[in-house]
Amino acid sequence: MLNIGSLNLSSNLILAPMAGISDFPFRMLNRKFGCELAFVEMINVHSISHKSKKTAQMLFSHKDDRPLGIQLLGNEQKYIEKAIDILKKYKFDLLDFNAACPARKVVKRGEGAGLLREPKKLEKLLKIIVKNSSWPVTLKIRSGWDKDSVNAKEIAVIAEGCGINGLFIHGRTKLQEYSGKVDYKSIKAAKKTVKIPVIGSGDNFSTSLIEKMFAETNCDAACVARGALGNPWIFKGTQPAEEEIISTMLEHLDGCIDFYGERSAILLFRKFFAWYTKGFRNVRHLREKCCHAKSKKDVLHIVEELQKL
């Protein structure tokens, strides 16, 4: 049992927010395979304030898409407060604040991982979020800015002092982005220091690596991001046969078409085809074909060729 504030979870695996990926069809598919808590894509507080059509689509959910987390990105008090106020009309279960995104354009604005260099400012923002939130609040961080300024433990103490209910820690620095090795020690140090749940993130690509995360860090839960791309079976801890992969891929395709319409869904689904077929042999030419697919019919023809390999 994992308890994050008032949110009680039976699973200790959580589906991370991923830009351009963790949309409604993706979440619902992963839930069928055992995913319990899932996140919408990371949302900038300015986008919520502007009430854009894209943001509304990102926030779309229904009663079967629960429990659901929303992750906010920002660094300005007035926009954070406004975003939280707008979110009160939506039904979800957890509010996460991002101080981990390493994207250059994000950090340049002083958001995401940029806040790791300004712990006082981060502390101020966390207090504001906790004060204004009616949901459990969590924080997502990295181990630090670079190898010489690993401060996950210190940030964890600050977060707990602000009333945060849980902490997600990606065991890489901002400068590492997604390269190099995960620093399990920084996650373990934070876990030993605070009483709130700590969720380990980074390289949770398989059941064995997830087990390593738990063993090396003693964390309370593991966050699955890239490990779920074309692989919802990671939540079951099973290895599917190729036939099951293909049928699941087509189910995901239909879900995308129902949600976005055929034209937009096909453009989105091209990358998923590559992820689903990662373990297949001699599929490079089919992936290239899929990059030019424009309709469901095109994709089905490609799948027919895949089944003949």
Best CA proximity match to 190, nearest among 164, 162, 152, 222: 152
How far apart, in whole angstroms, are the C-alpha atoms of residue 251 and residue 247?
6
What's CA 146's distance to the chain center, in Å? 22
Q: Is the peptide bond before 119 cis (omega within 30 degrees of 0)?
A: no
SS3 8: strand
- Return left, alpha or beta for 35; rule: phi > 0 is left, psi -120 to 50 is alpha, else beta: beta
d(CA 77, CA 74): 8
Which helix (H) or strand (E) segment is 252 a member of?
helix 242-260
Q: Is 239 helix (H, G, I), strand (E, B) or coil?
A: coil
Token pair recorded at residue 158: 């600050």
The answer to whether residue 101 is catalytic is yes
SS3 string, 142-180, reads EEECCCCCECHHHHHHHHHHCCCCEEEEEEEECCCCCCC
- Inter-residue contact 129 to 136 (CB < 8 Å): no
Q: How many CB atoms lie within 10 A of CB 68?
A: 18
Choosing from 35, 101, 162, 290, which is the catalytic residue?
Answer: 101
The residues that bridge with 3 in the sheet, in sequence order, are 8
Residues with catalytic function: 101
